[in-house]
Amino acid sequence: MKTILSLLILCFLSCQQTREVRTDDTLLASAFGEELYLSDIESLLQSARSEQDSVSIIKNYTDGWLMDHILFEESRKHVRKDEKISELVEDYRKSLFIHQYEEAFLKTNLDTVITNNQLNSYFEKHKDEFSISEPIARYFLVKIKLDKVDDTLNTLWKTEDLPAIRSYVLKERGLVHLDIDHWQYISDLKTLIPEQLFNRISLKKAEEYDY
């Protein structure tokens, strides 16, 4: 990482010869008396998935940091000191303090635990808002030619290895639906399976069907 970072800071070293550089950190940029070090953006690098990602994050942030400082200094030269700007800055400063206080207050005082009784009570009072036009269900569905059903697929099914099941079925050009987190209209299921199998399905309890 140090070798790569050195390539990024070459363009800034010439203006740092008369300044004291922290030896325990990597200097990325310096502008108008302010310095940007690698430790200042370490939290951003946590999302990097590769060395190339890290380099890209560092470069983009450093470029933006320099541009902000350049524009700010240029604006100070060409925009006269205005009381209105000072008022806006002070208002923004106050809003930041208020926002931080509100967040801290909510974290400390707000009870975020909702009991089953509270959920049931809310549901009873708002039943009309939860009405649906037809029955819904959550299900696993595997549709594949009978001669492709072997011990491998049976083992995957018993162990509930969903990624492997999906890969196996798609490889054999079958149909697979393994999303149990979302409710589906039962009419959609009816279009995917034979009518005789659909008529056997009970929505009152979880069961396994084959055809």
DSSP notation for 14-53: GGGTTSPPPTTS-EEEEETTEEEEGGGGGGGGGG--SHHH
pLDDT at 83: 64
Mean pLDDT calculated for residue range 59-83: 81
Asked if residue 40 is part of any domain, the answer here is yes
Count: domains in the chain: 3
Does residue 10 carry a pLDDT above 70?
no
Do 70 and 120 fall into the same domain?
no
Whether residues 146 and 123 share a domain: the answer is: no
Lowest mean pLDDT among 7-11, 31-35, 156-160, 174-178: 7-11
Check whether residue 118 and residue 158 sit in a common domain: no
| Statement to judge: residues 89 and 142 lie in one domain | no
Task: Please state the rounded mean pLDDT for residues 138-153.
Answer: 85
| 176 and 123 part of one domain | no
Q: Residue for token digits 């902000």? A: 68
The boundaries of the domain holding residue 169 are: 134-200
Q: What pLDDT score was predicted for residue 131?
A: 76
In this predicted structure, what is the pLDDT of residue 156? Answer: 84
144 and 98, same domain (yes or no): no
